[in-house]
Amino acid sequence: MKIRSSVLVILLCIALGQCHIAFGQTKLNDVIHYALSHSREVKSANLQVEEARYIRREALGQGLPQIEASGTYSKMMLPDISLPESLTAMIPSQYAPLLDNLKDINLYTLSAGVQVTQLIYNQSYLVGLKTTKKTQELYALLKSKTEEEVIEEVANSYYQTLSLMLQLNTIDKSLVNLKEIYRMVELSYRNDMVKESNVNRLKVNITNLEVNQQTLKNVIGIQLNYMKALAGMPADTVLRLDTTLYRNNVEMFAQNPSFAADNVVSYQVLLKQSELNSQDVKSAKARFTPTLAAFGQFNYSSYNTSSAIKNLTNMNTIGVKLSIPIFSSGVNYAKMKQAQLKKVETDETILKTKDLLSINYSNALSEYQTAYNLLDVQRDNRDLAFKVYNQTSSQYKEGMASMADLLNVNSDFLQAENSYNQQMLKCKLAEIKILKSTGSLNQIANN
């Protein structure tokens, strides 16, 4: 079996043309751990968590001292002043030169200052801090939800790929057997011991299986590429999946996972969203409360008729500012009612989701138990079909069974083997569903 698995890996590598890089991971949890570190969705979720951290820092900074500095420097060019001759004749001669100098006078203004403000009390600020904290917690839950979705998608793809590989393995074994029979039948035909129609019929069956074989190889390649995309792997990575691990690891839980809605991440997200809605209500109510802040201004200014900076004067101001909302034409009240209604909507969604999660668990448990009960039936049927095939094959070689009998039992065996493989896939997919319904998908990554 190990030799066949190795041959299957080599055939896949040749079909995909990707043998130059080997990923070397065969277990599902290895692929999942890689996906949790490299998946695009998980990386985006990590960025959102980091973004929420800076949102909280921004909110925190709004209640800390705010310092601003400003400065201006300007030159005011006065227009030419023309005085009537009757007025200039009245000016004493010793002041007459001053009139000429008025044409060259410019006014230079310099001002610089620092303003400091400190929030003393603002109910909206205090509520906002709690809101940003809960926003951080929400994004952390959304990250966990994204990780569960990645685990589910990777696990489903992994098991579907293994199921396809088992189908390919079954066809490979059947082809080996039929080609050996074809070699003997063709030899008998040359000795005029069998009809040409028997040879042709066997050849048709072999050709059909070869077509199915190539089709399955192509589908497996597509499925592997899809799984690599889910996990964030490079496109030229070669995955080596061992079907023996899959066959030997199909067994029921020793104890069915218990259900509690509080353990399901999607439900936790809704609960956290409800908490945020409550904070929005408090934030809307905070608009009715006063705001108190302290401030200080430290300014320097200078006015000169030359560009030189001198004669700076200082003017400082300190104080407190109280803002009391009196009337907003119903704007604040409307915002508060919107927040309250949004909270009620979220609570209704929570109740509905809890009921649906309970139903999903019951359905998943029923599907899980049914799948494993039918697995024993399909296994017995597969073993019986294989036994009948071996008996008929021996009888054919001894001339006691016809070619039609041999092809019929071969077809029955292929169908029974594929049905058993499909049932194993149903068991593993049902296992994923029940783990998801109980919020226990991380067990797959930890096994």
Residue 59 belongs to a domain with what CATH number? 1.20.1600.10
Give the β-pairing of 313-323 and 106-122.
unpaired
Residue 27 domain flag: yes
Whether 20 maps to a domain, the answer reads yes
Quick check: is 192 in a domain?
yes
Number of domains in the chain: 1
Q: Give residues with Cβ within 8 angstroms of 140, minimum separation 6.
A: 49
Q: Report pLDDT for 283.
A: 92
pLDDT of residue 179: 87
Domain membership of residue 265 (yes or no) is yes
Q: How do residues 397-413 score in pLDDT, each as one tens digit?
A: 787 888 788 888 888 99
- Residue 49 within any structural domain of the chain: yes
Question: How many CB atoms within 10 Å of residue 200?
Answer: 11
DSSP state of 91: S
pLDDT of residue 102: 55
Helix axes 331-397, 123-190, angle to 10 degrees: 20
Left, alpha or beta for 238 (phi > 0: left; psi -120 to 50: alpha)? beta
Q: Summarize pLDDT for 205-262 with one digit per residue, the tens.
A: 899 999 999 999 999 999 999 999 999 998 888 888 877 767 777 777 767 788 999 9
pLDDT at 101: 56
For residue 355, count other CB atoms closer than 10 A to its CB. Answer: 11
Residue 250 is assigned to a structural domain of this protein: yes
Ordered alpha helix ranges (H), 191-242: 196-231
112 part of a folded domain: no
Residue type, 140: A
Nearest to 272 by CA among 180, 348, 194, 350: 350
CA atoms within 13 A on the CB side of 86: 0
Domain interval for residue 240: 2-68+122-290+330-446
What does the pLDDT read at residue 30?
86
User: Which residue ranges in the chain fall short of pLDDT 70?
Assistant: 1-26, 77-105, 193-194, 245, 254, 305-307
Domain assignment of residue 74, yes or no: no
Residue 374: what pLDDT?
Answer: 93
